[in-house]
């Protein structure tokens, strides 16, 4: 018997399921329902097959989209690294012929004066930070300066939070901020210019100052694009184990910090006490 033919048993089942004296229309209606149910059962595998096919296409589309976005980000990162390397090279060369001038009102600050002919021209806050760090903290060592502007996580040992206080008050645009780094005091971000972007600072459990220059600032309301880049930098930090700074990357993370001993340049030589000779008497 063909799949869609109606057997006497079907008719009899329909007649028994209805009134004892069924009409012809009731029997026809019952057989139509059985026929529709049988037809839906035959078409159900085809629907499942189409649904599975659509799911495969969606998965392929999302996979291709992820690959395209990843390739675009990789290309952008490579081009950005090439630009940053050139800028870093220009900045390090600028230190050779630069002048370092004490700040007229703040004894703790030294300003970097770069000749106007140089390609790199930091803004005021950047000149003050670069000049102060290079002359007072890093003892004019350009290799250390290079690590700092590449984003190294720096701990100033035994400074009792002096650099933290200096950075916190160096600019009127400084603001408190949270981050993934540990600090016993409130962390502060010091906005910079196009060259250094942002300086983040806090203190360790021993009250040593720590700071780092960030490649992109975290401020989702005021700078959403930079915040997205900040998240990408954080992912790179987790995957590669490097700190992403404004002019490159550094292996000196918070788990492998660049430790620099604090030297108090405000102490005059005549005020230093020699333990062997006892206190000096004027």
Torsion angles phi and psi, residue 265, rounded to 5: -80, -5
Answer whether 120's CB lies under 8 Å from 94's CB.
Answer: yes
Question: Residue ranges per domain, the chain?
Answer: 73-261
What pLDDT shows up at residue 279?
40
What pLDDT shows up at residue 245?
86
60 vs 63: CA distance, rounded Å: 5
What pLDDT shows up at residue 36?
55
Helix (H) / strand (E) containing 25: helix 24-94
Secondary structure letter of residue 96 according to DSSP:
T
What pLDDT shows up at residue 133?
97
Q: What are the per-10-residue average pLDDT scores of the chain (282 residues)?
A: 52 49 53 57 59 74 82 67 82 91 91 82 93 96 96 97 96 90 95 90 97 82 75 80 88 95 69 42 38
Answer whether 106's CB lies under 8 Å from 112's CB.
Answer: no
What pLDDT shows up at residue 5?
53
pTM: 0.67
What pLDDT shows up at residue 274?
41
What pLDDT shows up at residue 38?
55
What pLDDT shows up at residue 105?
87
202 vs 270: CA distance, rounded Å: 33
What pLDDT shows up at residue 282?
38
Residue of 94, 113, 92, 95 lying closest to 103 (CA atoms): 113
């Amino acid at each position: 018997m063909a799949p869609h033919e109606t057997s006497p048993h079907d008719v009899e089942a329909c007649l028994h399921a209805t009134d004892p004296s069924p009409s012809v229309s009731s029997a026809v209606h019952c057989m139509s329902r059985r026929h529709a149910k049988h037809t839906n059962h035959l078409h159900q595998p085809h629907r499942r097959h189409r649904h599975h096919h659509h799911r495969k296409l969606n998965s392929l589309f999302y996979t291709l989209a992820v690959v395209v976005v990843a390739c675009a980000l990789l290309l952008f990162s490579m081009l950005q690294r090439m630009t940053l390397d050139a800028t870093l090279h220009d900045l390090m060369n600028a230190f050779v012929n630069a002048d370092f001038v004490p700040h007229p009102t703040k004894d703790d600050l030294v300003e970097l004066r770069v000749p106007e002919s140089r390609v790199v021209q930091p803004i005021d806050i950047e000149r003050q930070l670069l000049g102060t760090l290079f002359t007072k903290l890093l003892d004019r060592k350009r290799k250390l300066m290079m690590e700092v502007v590449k984003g190294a996580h720096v701990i100033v040992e035994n400074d009792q939070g002096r650099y933290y206080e200096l950075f916190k008050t160096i600019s009127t645009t400084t603001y408190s901020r949270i981050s993934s780094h540990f600090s016993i005091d409130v962390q502060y971000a010091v906005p910079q210019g196009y060259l250094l972007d942002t300086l983040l600072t806090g203190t360790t459990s021993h009250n040593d100052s720590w700071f780092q220059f960030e490649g992109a600032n975290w401020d989702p309301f005021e700078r959403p694009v930079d915040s997205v880049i900040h998240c990408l930098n954080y992912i790179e930090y987790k995957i590669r184990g490097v700190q992403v700074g404004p002019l490159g990357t550094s292996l000196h993370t918070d788990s492998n910090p660049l430790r620099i001993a604090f030297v108090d340049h405000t102490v005059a030589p005549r005020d230093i006490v020699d333990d062997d000779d006892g206190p000096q008497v004027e």
